[in-house]
Structure 1
Amino acid sequence: MAIDTDSARTAENLLTVRDMRGEIFPSEIFDEHAWNMLLRLFVAEASDEAITAPDLMALTKTPPAVGQRWLAHLVADAQIEPYSDGGTITLTRSAVDRMNLFLRRAAGVHESDGPA
């Protein structure tokens, strides 16, 4: 599973922008826990960092009960590999490939941005 370094940088930038958004607007209106989890896992895997469920929920500011439901859904949807309690959570090969594709396209959109 190769993660494109440019895609990883784009994912990090998206997370930074999402964090800034949360500082300015009430975070309750942007509850996208699953997407935040996928982005965090992508960035972590690009950096060879191991992430467990509690780590991921802390990083994404997701309440544990909500996070567990989303993790179960992401496993069922084949976005993340099945994992054991306390084990490392990783994206599936298919999810990595789709994230690389999405992030390359997203980077292209941002590159076309004109002056602010």
Structure 2
Amino acid sequence: MAEIPVPHGSEFSQLQSLVDRVQQIERRISHLPQSNKQSQPTDIDLASIASAIYRARRRRSRFLPEALFAEPAWDMLLELFVTQAFGRQVSVSSICLAADVPQTTGLRYLEILEKVRFVERRYMPGDRRVKMVSLTQLGYKVMRAYLMDGIGNAEVPLPA
């Protein structure tokens, strides 16, 4: 198994800052009030919203230079939320394709998402040649809270 390089200097400071921010978000979402379950959208509803956001981002590249808006980690998080909400699994290579970046770039972003505990990789049962990736419990909660916040602030309508 290859060793993961340990960040140094400013790279370490940036990563530590990101980890601190994730911990703040985790504390914030753990204190969110739990409202009436009947009025809450389902994870499938939220997945529809996440999917619409992802499709809109892909559609944007038909009109504007894609390099202006490169956010591979965000594309990965959206796609992982959708696949998990529907109970599907996704391979590491597929999530890199979904982010529309070269495999090496996708792997770098997956490392960052792992370090902040938003995603985890594991071997596919029965086939150690394939690695699967999924949101961690924290990653799923953060994405769900983000999508719920958009609904609560009327930024995103619930699917019909």
- Alignment pair present for 1:110 and 2:156: yes
What is the correspondence of 1:1-116 to structure 2 with a 5 Å cutoff? 4-84=43-123, 86-107=130-151, 108-111=154-157
Match of 1:110, SS state, is coil
Where structure 2 has 5 or more consecutive residues not aligned to the other structure, the ranges are: 1-41, 124-128
Displacement, 1:88? 1.3
Higher CA-based Rg: 2
Match of 1:90, SS state, is strand
Aligned pair count reads: 109
Match of 2:135, SS state, is coil
Q: Distance in 2 between matches of 1:44 and 1:19?
A: 17
Displacement, 1:110? 2.7
TM-score by length of 1: 0.86
Moved more, 102-111 or 12-21: 102-111
Moved more, 34-43 or 55-64: 55-64
Shift >6 Å, 4+ stretches: none
Query: Identity percentage over the alignment?
Result: 26
Where structure 1 has 5 or more consecutive residues not aligned to the other structure, the ranges are: 112-116
Match of 1:87, SS state, is strand
Moved more, 88-97 or 75-84: 75-84
Displacement, 1:83? 2.8
Match of 2:112, SS state, is helix
More helix per residue: 1
